[in-house]
Structure 1
Amino acid sequence: MMLNIDLTGKIALVTGATGQLGRVMTRTLAQCGAKVAIHYMSNAAKARELLQEIEEAGGQAMIVQGDITKKEQIESMKEQIREQLGDPDIVVANAVVQYGWTSVLEQAPEDYVSQFESCVMQNVLLAKAFIPAMIEKGRGRMIGINTECAMQNFPNQSAYTAGKRGMDGLYRVLAKEVGAHQITVNQVAPGWTISEKDRGADDLNDASYVNQVPLKRRGEDQDIANAVAFLASDLAGFITGAYIPVNGGNVMPAI
């Protein structure tokens, strides 16, 4: 039997859809047949470009704007998506606040707050907004974009790592709480990934990084999107509570 990722009839929301990884996830879910809500915070031009691209390919999509750390804005997004597409079957939490990395002693306290809000509270608010409709349907997918940094704990990663490790704990608990409704809750953890902004550079496989990666190369943005599409599909219907590194083996969860 040929396996096929078919999301026809499914509705997906991707937060941070205009970002380097988010845009490829959005395209891929649409190519698999899902109707997609394209979320953005500030890059309206890229959101419109994605919408046009999906519609020209015969897909259905819409754009929603909002601050994913604010309850009222997520609630507004929910109502807009429900009105135009319906209640999402798939929620991909990809958005994260960007900041400058430095040591614990030098990192501004507000950077820890921003990471908690965008890594933990975003997912709390998304769950509260969208999981009740999934429970009514008796199915659903929550997919969070984590990071290999959550296992590395390298210098200067503290705020990002703290936020993502908090997210990991939330996802594991949520997976146990909603599993009886056939809702799966999983995380994809990219490594240092090649995306659109990198292509064309002279050296994409920096030796200091790839020498430690078993596959001896960096992954592509499409690799991350493929994992998301798989977890969104019926093929992954019996996988939940997972933290799945997509990084060539650079980090490996222990048992």
Structure 2
Amino acid sequence: MLKQLDLTGKMALVTGATGQLGRVIARTLADCGANIALHYINNEAKAQELQREIESMGKQAIIVQGDITRPETAPRLQEQIQSSLGGVDIVVANAVIQYAWTTVLEQAPEDYLGQFESCVMQSVYLAKAFIPYMKEVKGGRFIGINTECAMQNFETQSAYTAGKRGMDGLYRVLAKEVGKYQITVNQVAPGWTISERDRSSEPGHDEGYTRTVPLKRRGEDQEIANAVAFLASDLSSFITGAYIPVNGGNVMPAI
């Protein structure tokens, strides 16, 4: 029987939900039927706006705040969400620390530590806090937002690439450890994506980038969110341990 992409009755946590990509992921999961926990660190006004928007769609939403790179935050968020809306079926690790890119010789050591904390340790803390419930109910979706940069290894990408490649290793091991509980663990790897910020400003010069993309364009944030929704659904029930580029073919994992 053909299944539909239906998240009705599911509870999803999106970290970094007020960010350019996070907000579209949250809206898309809600549009597919899920109730949403919107995590933010600083932008409370945007979190409240998203909460009202999702509630207007007929879905439940809660906003939760905290530095997701700290070990005490994820357990606190788990308790807040559990007591308010119930157990989390879908975790989307989307939050990441932003920083200025430069060469290895000039990049500050704290930038490498920050990327490790937000790419690797965030997911470790989230797994420890939320996967026990998924094990209990024998099912769940754990989804991380990676990047095509992890395959490109271009100049000035070192801290970001190091963090995301570390994240990749963690997700592959976690997928093997929790698969027996019917929990899937996957990564979506966007390319240079068009977001709300781009649409509200002057068009950028992206010809150099799109020249290397087989589909000859940049992806839309909605296209990234669509891939997340697919992985969150029962349609992806036999996919785990995957790193899925959503970048028009700009990078292609090889066998």
Give TM class, smaller chain: over 0.9
Q: Does residue 170 in structure 1 map to residue 170 in structure 2?
A: yes
SS at match of 1:77: helix
1:92 is matched with 92
CA distance in 2, matches of 1:31, 1:200: 23
CA distance in 1, matches of 2:201, 2:95: 25
Aligned counterparts, 1:200-219, within 5 A: 200-204=200-204, 206-219=206-219
**Unaligned residue ranges in structure 1 (runs of 5+):** none
Aligned counterparts, 1:73-222, within 5 A: 73-204=73-204, 206-222=206-222
| Contact kept? 2:54, 2:61, Cα under 8 Å | yes
CA distance in 1, matches of 2:203, 2:61: 36
Q: Does residue 254 in structure 1 map to residue 248 in structure 2?
A: no
What percent of counterpart residues are identical?
Answer: 74
CA distance in 1, matches of 2:185, 2:57: 30
| Contact kept? 2:3, 2:234, Cα under 8 Å | no
| Contact kept? 1:147, 1:188, Cα under 8 Å | yes
Q: Does residue 71 in structure 1 map to residue 71 in structure 2?
A: yes
CA distance in 1, matches of 2:101, 2:226: 29
TM-score, normalised via structure 2 length: 0.98
| Contact kept? 1:96, 1:119, Cα under 8 Å | yes
Aligned residue type for 1:164: K
CA deviation string 1:81-107 (max 9, x = no partner)? 000111100000000001110000000
Aligned residue type for 1:153: N
Aligned residue type for 2:139: R
Cα-Cα RMSD: 1.1
2:61 is matched with 61
Aligned residue type for 2:162: A
CA distance in 2, matches of 1:231, 1:175: 13
**Unaligned residue ranges in structure 2 (runs of 5+):** none
Aligned residue type for 2:46: K
CA distance in 1, matches of 2:254, 2:2: 32
TM-score, normalised via structure 1 length: 0.98
Between stretches 4-13 and 239-248, larger displacement belongs to 4-13
How many residues of Structure 1 are paired with residues of Structure 2 in the alignment? Answer: 255
CA distance in 1, matches of 2:219, 2:87: 32
CA distance in 2, matches of 1:34, 1:109: 39
Offset of residue 55 of structure 1: 0.8
